[in-house]
Amino acid sequence: MTVTALTQLSEDERLFHDTVLDFAKQRIGPKVSQMDESATLDPALLPALFELGVMGIEVPEPYGGAGASFFTAILAVEALARVDPSVSVLVDVQNTLVINALLRWANDEQKLRYLPKMASEWVGSYALSEASSGSDAFALKLRAEKRGDKYVLNGRKLWITNAAESTLFVVFANVDPSLGYKGITAFIVEKTFAGFGVGKKEHKLGIRASSTCELTFDNVEVPAENVLGEVGKGYKIAIEALNEGRIGIGAQMLGLAQGAFDAALPYTRERVQFGKPIADFQGMQFHLARIAMEIEAARLMVYNAARLKDAGQPFVKEAAMAKLFASEVAERTASQCVELFGGVGFTKEYPAEKFYRDAKIGKIYEGTSNMQLVTIAKLL
């Protein structure tokens, strides 16, 4: 057996990864093409994902979760992305952004109220982005006005992942724009709150089964007890959650690259040209070797960042590096795998073209490539 970062996992980690991968191949694989065409997640997958235990990986056992590590969540995201990056990002946002924010910043009452639901039935969304605040995340305009024991939210959010499936939203709004980013506050908003709405779903290039929607807030009353963390400290929650979420996107891109390569490699051994499989040509062998090398390098970077996070060590630079590099490897690998298939790789009969479309988002969400470079440079 070739020794790779995957083969160096502990027995429990390897079993978990393989269990999730088998689930993805058996339960998600047959649905991938149809979900991509319809741009809709098969609703039957949600209860199956909760039953599998991947929707509350770090939620402590007393709250109904698995009580596992951040690294375990990363393994799930990677394994799912090898089959469908759309399902992978749903699980990623649930664990690395929403649940992580609740675990770190929610008070005891909030944890008791929400964590059991997040581990058993509720999907969550992380609502930071707006039309005017993408990379400039703190230019957000959603306003939260204090009225008695409530905050009244007015405005819009855009590009919110999982929005169509979510019941809980971690929403960032400004309680006092004159304070700039120091007025930003995080709120726990439930889908049933009056005045809250999920708007149009974006018609996307890739990860089409993953819902990306607008959120509208029309005098939405949020109880003061639903402030997450402290008033005016939402910027800290946003930054720290995104630092962790970037490792999740790195894992998604890693899994995507591996999935594309898994599909293309056997084809190079089956496709015969000039009397022998195309994989027997030295030029092709060099090509395949470089792809394999880059995927393994991305895996080591993603795993390292996740291990550092679990160990309580500084990981922000490593997370930015892992996200940046894995997204570049995913896009490059997916593109090359289309070419490895030749003409049929350009058709929807083979999975390469979908992996290629799915890969592009990796350089954009959770911080663009340029923003990762800024982070890395600051921490050198």
Give the DSSP per-residue string, 130-180: BTTBSSSGGG---EEEEETTEEEEEEEEEEEETTTT-SEEEEEEES-GGGG
Per-residue burial over 96-130, b = 16 or more CB atoms within 10 Å of its CB, e = otherwise: bbbbbbbbebbeeebbeebbbbbbbebbbbbbbbb
Helix axes 70-81, 11-23, angle to 10 degrees: 40
Query: Which two tokens mark 64?
Result: 């109904």
Distance between CA atoms of 366 and 239, rounded to whole angstroms? 10
Q: Which of 130, 165, 318, 366 is catalytic?
A: 366
**Residue 64 buriedness (CB in 10 A; 0-12 / 13-18 / 19+):** middle
Q: What share of the chain is helix, strand, coil (3-state, %, to 5)?
A: 60, 15, 25
Is 328 tagged catalytic?
A: no
* 133 residue type, one letter: S
What DSSP state is assigned to residue 202?
P
Q: 104 in helix, strand or coil?
A: helix
What residues form DSSP beta bridges with 228?
186
Q: 39 in helix, strand or coil?
A: coil
What DSSP state is assigned to residue 346?
G
- Where is 50: in which H helix or E strand? helix 45-52
* CB atoms closer than 10 angstroms to residue 236: 15
- Where is 225: in which H helix or E strand? none
Which residues does the annotation mark as catalytic? Answer: 366
